[in-house]
Amino acid sequence: MSDNVFQKCIAPDCGATYSVDEVLVACPKCGNLLDVQYDWDHMEVPKNLQHFEKYWSERHVPQRFSGVWRFHDLLPFTKLEKCVTVGEGQTILRASDGVAEFIGMNPGRVSLEYEGMNPSGSFKDNGMVAATTHASLVGAKSAACASTGNTSASLALYCSCLQTMKAIIFIGSGKIAYGKLSQALDYGALTLQIHGDFDDAMARVKEVSKDLGIYLVNSVNPFRLEGQKTIMFRILEALRWQVPDWIVVPGGNLGNSSSFGKAFHELKMLGLIDRIPRLAVINAAGADTLYQLYEKQGIRWNGGQPDRVAIQGYFDRMNAENRRASTIASAIEINRPVNLEKCLRALEWCDGVVRQVTDQQILDAKARVGACGFGCEPASAASVAGTKLLREEGVIGKDERVVCVLTGHQLKDPTATVAYHSGDPKKFDETLAVRGVTSCDFANNPIPVENDVDQIIRAIQTHQTHP
Ligand SMILES: *Cc1c(COP(=O)(O)O)cnc(C)c1O
Ligand SMILES: [Zn+2]
């Protein structure tokens, strides 16, 4: 691959660089995370963002049809022809006045970026397509990940399409939504249910993939985060290249937030945008490491020298208390986010804020999102619940332009949805009650009715509502 592209340690006091041909998940010198970096001075850089519009007429080329590789000029770590694609990134940004009203914002100011439209139903495909492209370039025969579900669904999909690589998936036992598990199985991935939670599965997959030389596609993989930058490019595209005031995203392993920060930092550096939107990362209250460190302890990127002693102290206490992540939003049920330092950097670049929301707030927001035209899974709705909170606090103004990223599709986790709409938190094996959910204010429960025409008509007349 070309010398203009390399991997670079994010720690400024290390800054070691490595070839993109190397398969690394951490800096061999200091152990920190790696970025993919480009020597833009020696590469062809688009003069403006309108540049990308010319590709719209090339949709017959699979890589131009892809919502990721359409922006290849901004993640050119290999030649366009070598990029894997299954048609990812055909997503939509749509303003929702119903959601704006729920949040307490003016009409036209809240848009939802619907990543549920990806081939495997979550934003993960944006990153997985870049990681599997890199894995193919280095000739990997098998690829592994630990997953709360969507990463595994995405990896399994790409491997089943490619047929050159076997997917090996590590999941915590009993910790995966059925929609996601069914995908991994149906796509034929080797699926290991580890007796433990996500943080355990993550630790094991790192060890095992090192021992067996398996390509690791968790978001410690810097190529994945390159692909995820394009979510931001598509938002700008949909806004006719106008920069919004806020991007709001749920935070789990913090790959997305890290990648969004890098996207905007690079666009600004290249002179393609004149300002950077603010970033809000939303944790679930039951998995709020970033919130605790950033907002409560004031930990900052600090020029690449975050207070690592304080961070380690936080994790030591977590271990001592055997504190485990717990939230209905299983995609963000993570207490040890692997991209923590990259996310701190993104929060600095984007003048970011972090909030936490309860499972109650998440599920109420999810029901409003569903009723307003986009179905999402619980974790995704954290972005809307978080925006509502930031609006109530006055951090986000009524008339600011906000984009909430809906990270995954409604059908990923039907159990949570049906439990909420039953209208009673105690139903469904206490799925909701054990999570502190006490009300289902936006429930739309099914109405039981006799097998009789008159009674059916009466039921419709009694319950029918009009918009
Ligand atoms: C993976 C995932 C997240 C969390 O994203 P991170 O990059 O790990 O912070 C949020 N929502 C959904 C639906 C996901 O699949
Ligand atoms: Zn290093």
Q: What is the pLDDT of residue 172?
A: 84
What are the phi and psi torsion angles at 315 (to 5°)? Answer: -70, -35
**What CA–CA distance (Å, rounded) separates 23 from 230?**
23
**What does the pLDDT read at residue 2?**
63
8 A C-beta contact, residue 362 and residue 329:
yes
Average pLDDT over residues 201-208: 91
Residue 426 binned pLDDT confidence (cut-offs 50, 70, 90): confident
Return the pLDDT at 467.
63
| Pairing assessment for the beta strands 92-95 and 34-38 based on DSSP bridges | unpaired
Residue 132: is its pLDDT beyond 70? yes
286: Cα separation from own chain's centroid: 18
Q: What is the mean pLDDT of residues 411-417?
A: 92
Model confidence, pTM = 0.96
Residues ≥6 apart with Cβ < 8 Å to 395: 353
Please identify, by atom number, the ligand 1 atom nearest to the C-alpha of residue 343. Answer: 9
Ligand nearest to the CA of 336: 1
Distance CA(284)–CA(326), nearest Å, equals 9
Residue 408 near ligand 1, beta carbon < 6 Å: yes
Q: Which of 113, 150, 181, 282 to mutate to test the pocket of ligand 1 (most atoms within 8 A of CB)?
A: 150
Is there a contact between 331 and 377 (Cβ–Cβ < 8 Å)?
yes
Beta bridge partners of 353: 280
Instruction: State the pLDDT at residue 428.
Output: 72
User: Sign of the C-alpha dihedral, residues 191, 196, 202, 203?
Assistant: negative
**What average pLDDT does the segment 375-379 reach?**
97
| pLDDT at res. 343 | 98
Please give the average per-residue pLDDT across 74-91, as a whole number: 97
**How sure is the predictor about 10, in pLDDT bands with cuts at 50, 70 and 90?**
very high
pLDDT tens string 255-268: 999 999 999 999 99
Hey, what are 436's tokens? 């502190």
User: What's the one-letter identity of residue 269?
Assistant: M
Better-scored residue on pLDDT, 282 or 177: 282
| CA 26–ligand 2 middle distance (angstroms) | 8
Residue 465, pLDDT > 80, answer no
Q: Is 200 in the pocket of ligand 1 (CB under 6 A)?
A: no
Distances (CA, A) of 439 to 319, 360, 426: 32, 8, 10
- pLDDT tens across 51-79, in order? 999 999 999 999 999 999 999 999 999 99
Distance of CA 429 to the CA centre of its chain: 28
Cα first-last separation, the chain: 57
Hey, which of 157, 171, 253 would you mutate to test ligand 1's pocket, going by the most ligand atoms within 8 Å of its Cβ?
Answer: 253
How wide is the angle at C-alpha 158 spanned by C-alphas 252 and 227, nearest 5°? 50
Structure token pair of residue 103: 């949040």
What is the best residue among 169, 332, 410 to mutate for testing ligand 1's pocket, by most ligand atoms within 8 Å of CB? 332
Of 25 and 340, which is predicted with more confidence? 340
Which residues fall within 8 angstroms of residue 303, CB to CB, at 6 or more apart? 12
- 280 C-alpha to ligand 1 centroid (Å): 14
Predicted confidence at residue 177, as pLDDT, reads: 85
Contacts of 463 (CB under 8 A, 6+ apart): 447
- What is the position in ligand 1's atom list of the atom closest to the CA of 250? 10
- Give the model confidence (pLDDT) of 209-222 as tens digits: 988 989 999 878 99
Whether 1 shows a pLDDT value over 60: the answer reads no
What rounded mean pLDDT belongs to the chain?
95
